[in-house]
Structure 1
Amino acid sequence: MNTSAAEIEVLSEEECMELLRSRHVGRVAVVDHGQPLIFPVNYATDDRAVVFRTAPGMKLQEARMARVAFEIDEVDTATGTAWSVLVKGVAYEITEALDHLSERLRELVVEPMAPGERSNWVAVVRHEISGRRFALESGS
């Protein structure tokens, strides 16, 4: 795609949050021994954090107290537009945390699509949010 920077619209924080609240599937990116890993997750969000549920394992281990990225996007061929929202922050395992934010986040509805028990909660506390939108070139 040959889109110039002038043709890319930077989304406001409000627009990013609206898009983030309108979806339920995103991707969390972590680093494991210097290698990037990306996992699709079902999520919910409030004004401060993105929260998802997971089974014990690598995704949870690599996300604990780590700097992570969380991303959602869409390509809409009907309207000829594409957009993405990126959240950067620190991931915390909040399954048994007693602080007010963790308790409030665990009340959000997160319905994992993957089979199996997803009893562990992870919150990505947002430090930065950004987004962009652009028109698709014909033939995209």
Structure 2
Amino acid sequence: MQRRLLFAPKRQMDGSRSNQQGLNALDSCFGILLRWWDIGWNAAPVALERWRYAMIVKEIDREGCIAVLAASRVARLACCKDGQPYAVPIHYAFDDQHLYSFSMPGQKIEWMRANPLVCVQVDDLVTSRDWRSVVVYGVYEELRDRIGWKRERDRAWSLLEKHANWWEPGSLKPVRQPVAPGSSHLFYRIKITSVTGRQTDEDNLSL
């Protein structure tokens, strides 16, 4: 009987401490849940705003594609040989369904001579949400320094020389090139067979 009286208060005290610890843990969990709810509630308008203003991409008609080509000067030219693609930047001028350019002899010229089917990509990037991109499919035509090509060569020269540094990057090579007989540079053009384009449209935002 005496032992029961001695241990009973201790069990009662331990029980109160355990209950208090449980209440504290429950209060802590409830506080965490409230903070999560507050964060989620505050973030909801931001997520909704981003969803409302999602980027819209639309097709560009041929007239619009030609406008992009006429206004730009730098493009990426892709050619292919034996199943291996190769892409390089070029400086060009647009006129009458052709892209005129200049180059030194090199890999892209050798590959386009072997396979004249090429692709050219031109873009007009204002911001990550405001851009236009045009892809040209065409045929490589070398404007050789021979009788019968003078008019086309003069045309290419007159178009390109209107712009500063028009010979770059076509005239620049990382290593010295072997001396070849005749002229070490050449003019060429890409005859456009088809063209496609896309652009962002922020005037019609998704709701």
Q: TM-score, normalised by structure 2?
A: 0.56
Whether 1:83 aligns to 2:132 is yes
Deviation at 1:129, TM superposition (A): 1.1
State the AA in 2 paired with 1:42: H
Whether 1:92 aligns to 2:141 is yes
Structure 2 Cα separation of the partners of residues 75 and 103 of structure 1 = 32
Contact residue 8 and residue 132 of structure 1 kept, 8 A: yes
Structure 1 Cα separation of the partners of residues 197 and 89 of structure 2 = 19
Whether 1:52 aligns to 2:89 is no
Higher strand proportion, which one? 1
Whether 1:69 aligns to 2:69 is no
In structure 2, the residue matched to 1:105 is 156
Structure 1 Cα separation of the partners of residues 64 and 152 of structure 2 = 23
Unaligned runs of 5+ in 1: 1-6
- Higher radius of gyration, 1 or 2: 2
Structure 2 Cα separation of the partners of residues 57 and 83 of structure 1 = 30
Unaligned runs of 5+ in 2: 1-55, 174-183, 203-207
Contact residue 9 and residue 132 of structure 1 kept, 8 A: yes
State the AA in 1 paired with 2:137: K
Deviation at 1:12, TM superposition (A): 1.4
Deviation at 1:8, TM superposition (A): 2.2
Is the deviation greater in 109-118 or in 120-129?
A: 109-118
Contact residue 72 and residue 124 of structure 2 kept, 8 A: no
Deviation at 1:102, TM superposition (A): 5.2
State the AA in 1 paired with 2:187: W
Q: Which one has more relative contact order, counting CA pairs under 8 Å at least 6 apart?
A: 1
- Where does 1:1-140 land on structure 2 (aligned, <5 Å)? 7-64=56-113, 66-77=116-127, 80-96=129-145, 98-99=148-149, 101=152, 103-109=154-160, 111-114=166-169, 116=172, 119-135=185-201
Deviation at 1:126, TM superposition (A): 0.6
Matched length:
130
Structure 2 Cα separation of the partners of residues 45 and 55 of structure 1 = 20
| Backbone CA RMSD of aligned residues | 2.5
Q: TM-score, normalised by structure 1?
A: 0.79
Structure 2 Cα separation of the partners of residues 16 and 84 of structure 1 = 8
Deviation at 1:66, TM superposition (A): 0.9
Structure 2 Cα separation of the partners of residues 125 and 102 of structure 1 = 14
Q: Deviations over 1:39-96 (max 9, x none)?
A: 1000001122101101011111112261000111133228x31211111011011132
In structure 2, the residue matched to 1:3 is none
Aligned-residue sequence identity (percent) comes to 24
